[in-house]
Amino acid sequence: MKSEWVDRDVRATIDRYGQQGFGADLAQRIYTTRLLGRERSLVLHGGGNTSVKIVMNDLLGEQVEVLCVKGSGGDMATIEPAGLPAVRLDRLRKLRKRDALSDPDMVRIQRENLLDPSAPNPSVETLLHAFLPHKFIDHTHATAVLSLVDQPDGPLICAELYGNRMGLVPYVMPGFALAKQAAEIFALRPKVEGLILLKHGIFTFGDTAREAYERMILMVTLAEGRLTLNRKSVFVAGKIAQQLAPLSEVAPILRGACSLKDEKTEGAWRRQILDFRNSPAVLNYVNGEELARYGRAGVATPDHTIRTKNWPLITPAPLESSRVPNK
Ligand SMILES: [Zn+2]
């Protein structure tokens, strides 16, 4: 993976947002957030988040230190300043003294401290950004990193690969507990360039937008390199029928089998819409002899869980004799 940072584009972004009254830090935050968001092996739509700590005027015109952090569910690839709601930083930092904080209370406190009361909800990972001291923080669910840390010996692999450069955070559901744990792990090794969150993703940080972004690219590139070591192909071609029934005959059967009775309305059914794909990559995946094993291994990242769900329906390969004659 290569850095897509281009000085000319950065200057143009700073000019464009400057004309709208936004500072250079926020403009660069937008710029690298978009770079990360358009790389699908880092995040899919809605996944990941970024932040910057700056000073802004509140509604009374008073200067206040804020965390501009991505709104929950927003798309990094097309983000605008409104997609990075500003939250009062000193108020968020005070929460670190607490022992526990429920998700509903956390969301209410975050909303209470928005500079603009009509802004979207800040990300569920807002407190993690707030508890770390860095000006720029980037977070993705990079497929390459997760392919390493989802393995049973993931922590060992990461320790070997990153040494003292990255902190390792055990899995905790996103929210207050994760934010607090990540901040404690960072405090033990304040020279790290980022944090690997086991079974979740990767954070990198820096004093500048470029530093945080290029650390992300570097750490993911190291993971990509590690994945190619000792890699074994899991693909062994299964037996494929020479003549397959046309899709128009198969699809209604599948659709019927996947329909569920709507318990709330008598006689109604909840039906699925099918989307048929047979690209070379898809065929390579479904034609494997061990599809049932690797197809049920679960997806790599939280973004994939949202997009594709974790478990596929696997139907048996068609038999030659089951071919329905064309009428
Ligand atoms: Zn995340």
Kindly report, residue by residue over 113-143, the tens digit of the pLDDT. Answer: 999 999 999 999 999 999 999 999 999 999 9
> Which residues, including other chains, have CB under 8 Å from residue 204's CB and lie 6 or more apart?
137, 138, 193, 194, 212, 213, 215, 216, 219
- Residue 327 has a pLDDT of 44
pLDDT classification of 272: cutoffs 50, 70, 90: confident
CA of 14 to the centre of ligand 1 (A): 27
CA of 121 to the centre of ligand 1 (A): 15
Residues 275-295 have pLDDT tens digits of: 999 999 898 888 888 898 888
Mean pLDDT computed over every residue of the chain: 91
CA of 241 to the centre of ligand 1 (A): 42
CA distance 271 to 268: 9
CA of 208 to the centre of ligand 1 (A): 21
Q: What's the 3-state SS for the chain?
A: CCCCCCHHHHHHHHHHHHHCCCCHHHHHHHHHHHHHHCCCCCCCCCCCEEEEEEEEECCCCCEEEEEEECECCCCHHHCCHHHCCEEEHHHHHHHHHCCCCCHHHHHHHHHHCECCCCCCCECCCHHHHHHCCCCEEEEECCHHHHHHHCCCCHHHHHHHHHHHHEEEECCCCCCHHHHHHHHHHHHHCCCCCEEEECCCEEEEEECCHHHHHHHHHHHHHHHHHHHCCCCCCCCCECCCCCCCCCHHHHHHHHHHHCCEECCCCCCCEECCCCCCCCCHHHHHHHCECCHHHHCCCCCCCHHHHHHHCCCCCCCCCCCHHHCCCCC
Locate 74 and state its tokens. Answer: 């927003």
CA of 5 to the centre of ligand 1 (A): 23
CA distance 141 to 123: 14
Residues in the chain: 327
Residues 158-195 have pLDDT tens digits of: 999 999 999 999 999 999 999 999 999 999 999 999 99
CA of 63 to the centre of ligand 1 (A): 30
CA of 193 to the centre of ligand 1 (A): 17
Which of 9, 3, 1, 4 is CA-nearest to residue 27? Answer: 9
CA of 292 to the centre of ligand 1 (A): 29
CA of 141 to the centre of ligand 1 (A): 6
CA of 46 to the centre of ligand 1 (A): 10
Phi and psi angles of residue 298, each rounded to the nearest 5 degrees, phi first:
90, 160
CA of 48 to the centre of ligand 1 (A): 5
CA of 125 to the centre of ligand 1 (A): 7
CA distance 294 to 317: 16
CA of 298 to the centre of ligand 1 (A): 17
Q: What is the largest CA-CA distance in the chain?
A: 78
CA of 24 to the centre of ligand 1 (A): 26
CA of 265 to the centre of ligand 1 (A): 38
CA of 10 to the centre of ligand 1 (A): 26
CA of 76 to the centre of ligand 1 (A): 13
Which of 212, 187, 239 is CA-nearest to residue 53? Answer: 212
The arithmetic mean of pLDDT across residues 231-252, rounded, is 81
Residues 68-89 have pLDDT tens digits of: 999 987 899 999 999 999 999 9
Which residues have beta carbons under 5 A from ligand 1 (an ion)? Answer: 201
CA of 197 to the centre of ligand 1 (A): 9
- Residue 175 has a pLDDT of 94
CA distance 22 to 66: 14
pTM here? 0.85
Residues 259-268 have pLDDT tens digits of: 999 988 888 9
CA of 304 to the centre of ligand 1 (A): 12
CA of 277 to the centre of ligand 1 (A): 29
CA of 43 to the centre of ligand 1 (A): 9
